[in-house]
Amino acid sequence: MDTTRDEKKLLRYTYLLCLACFFNLAVIKQPFDKGAMVMAVVTCLLIGYSYFVIRRFFSDGDKYIFVFSSILSVIGMVMLYRINMAVSIKQIIFFAVGVTGFILIVVLTPDTTGFSKYKYIYLVFTIIFMSLGTLHGTEINGSKNWVSFGGFSFQPSEFGKITLVAYLAADLKDYKNFKNLIVPGLVVMVCLGFMVIQRDLGSALIFFGIAVTMLYIATSKFKYVITCFLLAAAGSYMSYKMFNHVRTRVLIWKNPWPYANDKSYQIVQSMFSISSGGLTGTGLGLGHPEFVPINTTDFIFAGLCEELGILMGFAVVIMYFLLFYRCIRAAVYCSDEFSRLLAVGYSTMIACQVLVIVGGVMNAIPLTGVTLPLVSYGGSSMLITFFSLGIIQKISEEGR
Across the range 265-278, mean pLDDT stands at 89
Domain extent listing, the chain: 4-399
C-alpha distance from residue 383 to each of 97, 155, 287, 379 (Å): 7, 12, 30, 6
pLDDT tier for residue 1 given thresholds of 50, 70 and 90: very low
Convert the pLDDT of each residue in 314-328 to its tens digit.
Answer: 999 999 999 999 999
Across the range 41-58, mean pLDDT stands at 87
Contact 346, 56 (CB under 8 A): no
User: How many CB atoms are closer than 10 A to CB 87?
Assistant: 16
Pairing of strands 152-154, 143-149: antiparallel
Q: What is the pTM of this model?
A: 0.91
User: How confident is the model at residue 74, as a pLDDT?
Assistant: 94
Distance of alpha carbon 62 from alpha carbon 393, whole angstroms = 7
Distance of alpha carbon 137 from alpha carbon 158, whole angstroms = 14
C-alpha distance from residue 135 to each of 138, 146, 161, 213 (Å): 9, 11, 18, 29
Convert the pLDDT of each residue in 292-347 to its tens digit.
Answer: 888 888 899 999 999 999 999 999 999 999 999 999 998 888 888 898 999 999 99
For the chain, what percent of residues have pLDDT higher than 70?
Answer: 95
Convert the pLDDT of each residue in 201-215 to its tens digit.
Answer: 888 888 999 999 999
Instruction: Please say if the pLDDT value at position 94 is more than 90.
Output: yes
Average pLDDT, the chain: 87
Across the range 52-77, mean pLDDT stands at 86
Distance of alpha carbon 148 from alpha carbon 144, whole angstroms = 12
User: How many CB atoms are closer than 10 A to CB 335?
Assistant: 9
Give, in degrees to the nearest 5, the angle at Cα 42 between 84 and 319. Answer: 75
User: How confident is the model at residue 193, as a pLDDT?
Assistant: 86
Across the range 180-208, mean pLDDT stands at 86
Distance of alpha carbon 345 from alpha carbon 324, whole angstroms = 11
User: How confident is the model at residue 346, as a pLDDT?
Assistant: 94
CB-side exposure of 100: number of CA atoms within 13 Å?
6
Contact 219, 231 (CB under 8 A): no
User: How confident is the model at residue 176, as a pLDDT?
Assistant: 84
User: How confident is the model at residue 164, as a pLDDT?
Assistant: 93
Contact 380, 158 (CB under 8 A): yes
Top-confidence residue, 126 or 180: 126
Amino acid at 372: L
Distance of alpha carbon 64 from alpha carbon 275, whole angstroms = 33
CB-side exposure of 65: number of CA atoms within 13 Å?
36
User: How confident is the model at residue 141, as a pLDDT?
Assistant: 59
Distance of alpha carbon 338 from alpha carbon 167, whole angstroms = 10
Query: CB-based burial of residue 332 (10 Å sphere; 0-12 exposed, 13-18 middle, 19+ buried)?
Result: exposed
Instruction: Please say if the pLDDT value at position 161 is more than 80.
Output: yes
Instruction: Please say if the pLDDT value at position 147 is more than 80.
Output: no
